[in-house]
């Protein structure tokens, strides 16, 4: 699957001219939304089906700096998928250099906030996620 691309905007940089670390969490969300679109399960479709997937945890490991106008490619991969939770990994690249590795952990809830076992309740969505794990 093609990685998501994000061009660093001037407002995303700090006084030192590098991308402020807090923006990487936003970039993760952009890449996650793009990933879901590519597998046919957009956020709109998920919400229409009654599924929400809030973030439970985020981890970022910064390796190198990026700056204004850099184009960062973000590879998204499902690392774990079981029961109520999913872990997604992100690899941020600038050219051949890895600039950040990250992960986000999510759970699955219905629109009333109750836990949902997607494998049983939404088998098509579960299969689409699982298929991406097998491609990698």
pTM, two decimals, is 0.94
Reported as a single tens digit per residue, the pLDDT across 103-128 is 999 999 999 999 999 999 999 999 99
Q: Which of 14, 97, 110, 124 is catalytic?
A: 14
**124 assigned to active site:** no
Angle among Cα 33, 39, 43 to the nearest 5 degrees reads 35
Cα-Cα-Cα-Cα torsion 14, 18, 24, 26, nearest 10 degrees, comes to 50
Q: Is-contact 98 63, C-beta < 8 A?
A: yes
* pLDDT single digits (tens) 31-85: 999 999 999 999 999 999 999 999 999 999 999 999 999 999 999 999 999 989 9
């Amino acid at each position: 699957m093609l990685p998501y691309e994000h061009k660093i905007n001037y407002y995303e940089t700090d006084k030192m001219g590098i991308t402020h670390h807090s923006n990487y969490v936003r970039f993760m969300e952009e890449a996650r939304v793009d990933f879901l679109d590519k597998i046919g399960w957009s956020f709109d479709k998920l919400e229409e089906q009654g599924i929400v997937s809030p973030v439970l945890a985020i981890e970022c490991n910064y390796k190198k700096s990026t700056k204004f106008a850099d184009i960062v490619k973000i590879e998204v991969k499902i690392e774990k998928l079981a029961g109520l939770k999913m872990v997604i990994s992100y690899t941020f690249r600038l050219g051949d250099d890895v600039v950040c590795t990250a992960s986000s952990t999510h759970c699955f809830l219905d629109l009333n906030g109750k836990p949902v076992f997607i494998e049983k309740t939404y088998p098509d969505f579960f299969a689409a996620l699982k298929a991406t794990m097998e491609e990698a």
